A = this chain, B = another copy of it.
Amino acid sequence: MKFGLTRAGIGSIGSDEQWLQAAAEFGFQVIDGDPVGLVQRHGVQGAAELLARHQVTLGSFGLPVDWRTTDQAFREGLPKLLEAAEAAAALGCKSCCTYILPSTDDAPAPFMARAVKRLRLCAQWLGAYGIKLGLEYVGPHHLRSQWKHPFIWTQADTLALIEAIGEPNVGLLVDSFHWYTTELTYNDIANLPAHLIVHVHINDAPPVPVDQVRDNERLYPGEGVIDLAAFLQALHKSGYQGAVTQEVLTKEPPQEDARELMERSRKALDRVLAAAGLDLLKSRL
């Protein structure tokens, strides 16, 4: 596994250059970011060199297409999907993710049929560039009734969706927060075929009843109550060798200094890796 960062939880880190330099300095190997932005700001060659210079790779990027509303909106996003896939492929990034909200204002059965069709098309386009599509189930209880009808929020139902899509390059984004809020166990991850794990997010939850946990009240790894040692051990057991990036979603952006947050993130990670007994892993992988 490779460990890294998203923009969530590191404050105002500044330019790409500053972010990558700080990530490297604090020992992170991967960042989740927007390949199109990188290419627009630095050119393909420049962006590739920027990453190489800091020995940081691009972990995953967000699916830039609206698959949740109308056929027209979906179709209008396809050129953006192509642009992102080209940029990502040029920068060596092989993972693209999207999240699935646990409730919806649309009639759920027809919405699922349309989601299958649209996400399959996205997977096919991404596959042309050697990129996998990761689907993130979203666990917090309050979101299950945020919109009119329940949709899906369990790993099992997300795997059923993946089977309905039926493309070889589709899998899960496993987020410790959703693993926790859907009350899954070590085995639910350990028994996954590794290739079905496309990307991993790590973060922690506050000590409130699990059905009270809110999606935008996340903590740094090790600062909350999620058994992240078991989470990482289970990922290791599954054979997963990809990226694990911290994503600390909060109501307000953190006010602390960015380097301070970087250091805090690094220590948080070290703590959970130590607890997981996976220190050696870092150096080896």
A residues with a Cβ closer than 8 A to B are 75, 78-79, 82, 86, 107-114, 116-117, 120-121, 124-125, 127-129, 149-152, 157, 160-161, 163-164, 166-168, 193-195, 239, 241
Contacts and interface: CB of A to CB of B under 8 A. Distances in A.
A110 B160 contact: yes
B114 A160 contact: yes
Contacts of A121: 124, 127-128
Contact of A166 (B152, B161, B168): B168
B152 A120 contact: no
A112 to B, nearest CB: 4
Contacts of A124: 121, 124-125
21 contacts: A79-B82, A82-B82, A107-B150, A107-B152, A108-B108, A108-B109, A108-B149, A109-B150, A109-B152, A109-B157, A110-B157, A110-B160, A113-B161, A114-B164, A116-B116, A117-B163, A117-B164, A120-B164, A124-B124, A167-B168, A194-B194
B113 A157 contact: yes
Contacts of A113: 112, 116, 152, 157, 160-161, 163-164
B78 A117 contact: no
Contacts of A164: 112-114, 116-117, 120, 164
A108 B106 CA distance: 12
A167 B164 CA distance: 12
Contacts of A193: 195
- 4 nearest CB pairs, A to B: A195-B195, A112-B112, A116-B164, A108-B109
Contacts of A125: 124-125
Contacts of A241: 239
B194 A128 contact: no
Given A152-B110, A160-B114, A75 B195 contact: no
A75 B129 CA distance: 8
Contacts of A108: 107-109, 112, 149
Nearest to A239: B239
Nearest to A160: B113
A172 to B, nearest CB: 14
Given A110-B152, A112-B112, A113-B164, 18 more contacts: A75-B128, A79-B86, A107-B150, A108-B149, A109-B112, A109-B157, A110-B160, A112-B116, A114-B160, A117-B164, A117-B166, A120-B164, A121-B124, A124-B124, A125-B125, A167-B168, A194-B194, A194-B195
